[in-house]
Amino acid sequence: MHASIPPNTVEIDLGDRSYPILIGGSLLDAPTTYADLPPATAALVVTNSTVSPLYAQRLRTALQGKFRSIHTVVLSDGEAHKTWQTLNLIFDSLLAHECDRKTVLFALGGGVVGDMTGFAAASYMRGVPFVQVPTTLLAQVDSSVGGKTAINHPLGKNMIGAFYQPLKVVCDLDTLQTLPPRELSAGLAEVIKYGPIADLVFFDWIEANIDRLLARDPAAMAHAVKRSCEIKAWVVAQDERDYGLRAILNFGHTFGHAIEAGLGFGEWLHGEAVGCGMVMAANLSQRLGLVDAALVRRLTALIQRAGLPIRGPQLLAGSIAHGAAQTGAGSSRKLSNADIYLAHMRVDKKAEAGEIKFVVIDGPARASVRSAPDALVREVIDACCDGR
């Protein structure tokens, strides 16, 4: 479709687990896209009820000739289905079709399908190969790259999972044309993220091109996906297992994950929660004296122009585990919004012994991980959220 946009390849360098990220138009249908995969028996296409009618048959057609048998499992759509129960449907399908260890799983969809398919691939027979075919902007610029796979637990986001790298990532930019506008904006949150943490030139470019991105201009999309993947590949190559540098990719996510869990998964989109979470994390960075107000205003304005919420919501008290909010010895006072945010953030994966860690901006295109006094975090929540 976009013949004027030549395909690009970004390599992610992980030794014997290195792989290419293909970026371009018309990649989904092309048998050449899959020609270099190792010899395999069966393919299992994992997708969902929205993406399946749009793209599954085209992928299956492209895979014919490469695989003796091609099966498909169609999951329910949505973050609320990123669960053990849904994951088990992938195992049910693999076992029902007597799939062996040379079966390749194809994750066709957004980050929810990609994260669950990757986790299924990591676990089935202790590991079978898989290919990411991301069809949302968020999945193309972030979740399909880097090997983080997971499902949610009702008490915490992405709490059960594994690091497991795909064989390749296929970003067909044409698929972005069918994305609902709200999902496009959610993906832009993860694109914007790369600016303040790693690349001011890219930040400037996003500001100058946000209208083209919202209009899905193919050349602008191609650049945004490629530069985002380059930055992510650069970070992951240095810290695949998330012991240090990789945490910067979680800018906005500590607050964002609290929003997702605190409203019930699926109420706000992941990218919406991350967009608003970046506003809150930038505000915290300013209160810690790390950045000036001008950068916070600039980032907030860009997030708003991308169609994302910039005010945090009031979270649901019932969303936290019984006893999780310590409001003071013997206290029976009503939980404040800040209490609920803090309770969720204490189970964030970056937290250590209950001490919450935040990704903050601490210079131009530079981020780091820090703790902050609860009182200061409460100030941020009160200043950035609707309701107390």
Residues forming the site for ligand GLY (CB under 6 A): 142, 146, 148, 242, 246, 249-250
Nearer to ligand NAD, 21 or 295 (CB): 21
Taking alpha carbons only, the member of 279, 277, 273 closest to residue 260 is: 273
Question: Residue 336, interface with ligand NAD (CB under 6 A)?
Answer: no
Question: Residue 312, interface with ligand NAD (CB under 6 A)?
Answer: no
Strands (E) across the chain are located at: 8-12, 19-24, 42-48, 69-75, 104-109, 130-134, 148-153, 156-163, 168-172, 358-363, 366-370
- 3 Cβ partners below 8 Å, 6+ apart? 25, 26
Contact predicate 21/233, CB 8 Å: yes
Classify residue 153 by burial, with Cβ atoms within 10 Å: 0-12, 13-18, 19+: middle
Nearer to ligand GLY, 7 or 114 (CB): 114
Contact predicate 254/348, CB 8 Å: yes
Q: How far apart are CA 341 and CA 169, in angstroms?
A: 35
Question: Residue 74, interface with ligand NAD (CB under 6 A)?
Answer: no
Binding piece for ligand NAD, criterion CB under 6 A, among 20-28, 171-179, 200-208, 331-339: 171-179
Name the closest residue to ligand GLY (Cβ): 249
Binding piece for ligand NAD, criterion CB under 6 A, among 35-43, 125-133, 142-150, 162-170: 142-150
Copy the structure tokens of residue 281: 């994390």
Binding piece for ligand NAD, criterion CB under 6 A, among 74-82, 94-102, 276-284, 313-321: 74-82
- Choose among ligand GLY, ligand NAD, none what residue 246 binds, the Cβ cut-off being 5 to 8 Å by kind: ligand GLY
Q: What is the CA radius of gyration of the chain?
A: 21
Phi-psi region of 370 (alpha: psi -120 to 50; beta: other; left: phi over 0): beta
Nearer to ligand NAD, 173 or 284 (CB): 173
- Choose among ligand GLY, ligand NAD, none what residue 250 binds, the Cβ cut-off being 5 to 8 Å by kind: ligand GLY
Q: How far apart are CA 293 and CA 290, in angstroms?
A: 10
Q: What is the largest CA-CA distance in the chain?
A: 68
- Choose among ligand GLY, ligand NAD, none what residue 115 binds, the Cβ cut-off being 5 to 8 Å by kind: ligand NAD
Question: Residue 166, interface with ligand NAD (CB under 6 A)?
Answer: no
Amino acid letter at 51? V
For residue 363, the minimal CB distance to ligand GLY (Å) is: 21
For residue 247, the minimal CB distance to ligand GLY (Å) is: 8
Question: Residue 139, interface with ligand NAD (CB under 6 A)?
Answer: yes
Question: Residue 77, interface with ligand NAD (CB under 6 A)?
Answer: yes
Copy the structure tokens of residue 371: 């703790």
For residue 265, the minimal CB distance to ligand NAD (Å) is: 8
Contact predicate 131/44, CB 8 Å: no
Question: Residue 191, interface with ligand NAD (CB under 6 A)?
Answer: no
Q: How far apart are CA 251 and CA 229, in angstroms?
A: 16
Where do contacts with ligand NAD occur on this chain (CB under 6 A)? 48, 50-51, 54, 77, 79, 82, 109-113, 115, 135-136, 138-139, 142-143, 146, 148, 158, 175, 178-179, 183, 186, 270-271
